[in-house]
Amino acid sequence: MCNSFNKKFLDEAAKALEQDTDKDLIDHGRFMDQAVENAITGVLNNEGGPFGCIVVKEGKIIGKGNNKVTSTNDPTAHAEVMAIREACKALKSFQLDDCVLYTSCEPCPMCLGAIYWARPKKVYYGCSKTDAANIGFDDNFIYKELDLEPGKRTIPFEQINKEQAMKAFKAWEEKEDKIEY
């Protein structure tokens, strides 16, 4: 479903894409180097997998992260999520308006979702998802799972108590001072 806020975001993203000329490739390389350094530091410190990310706004790094899944026992502690959390905290906003992400690898499905919710204007990545699969980080099964009916997934999903759950949606719809995102 595409609400007016999402349509506005998509229109702005398309406009930014048209205007982006990648004039300063040196800065892009420098920022990507920082994302890769975050990944390497995390690996050497036994924090998690070989992934790093930074968030840049107006030429300044406002968020950085590396994978910390194994050191924090948190399966959501991926580099992009960590960097997005730090950047949003710095901006005091749940959106990354006019920000750019530099990530050492093409994002996994979870991080891709987080990126779209955060709404940066662009993402640069180093390694591809195929490169990640070649060293044991293969997310292809998740993409396949998304296409399955919920009850046919490897981890079965079953809808229950919809009437009760819909009360939260009704409260949201009726709330006049909600902050849409």
- Enumerate the active-site residues: 80
Could you give the residue ranges of the DSSP H alpha helices within the chain? 4-19, 25-44, 69-72, 79-91, 109-118, 129-134, 140-146, 162-174
Could you give the residue ranges of the DSSP H alpha helices within 45-99? 69-72, 79-91
Phi, psi of 75 (to 5 degrees): -65, -10
Separation CA 45–CA 178 (nearest Å): 42
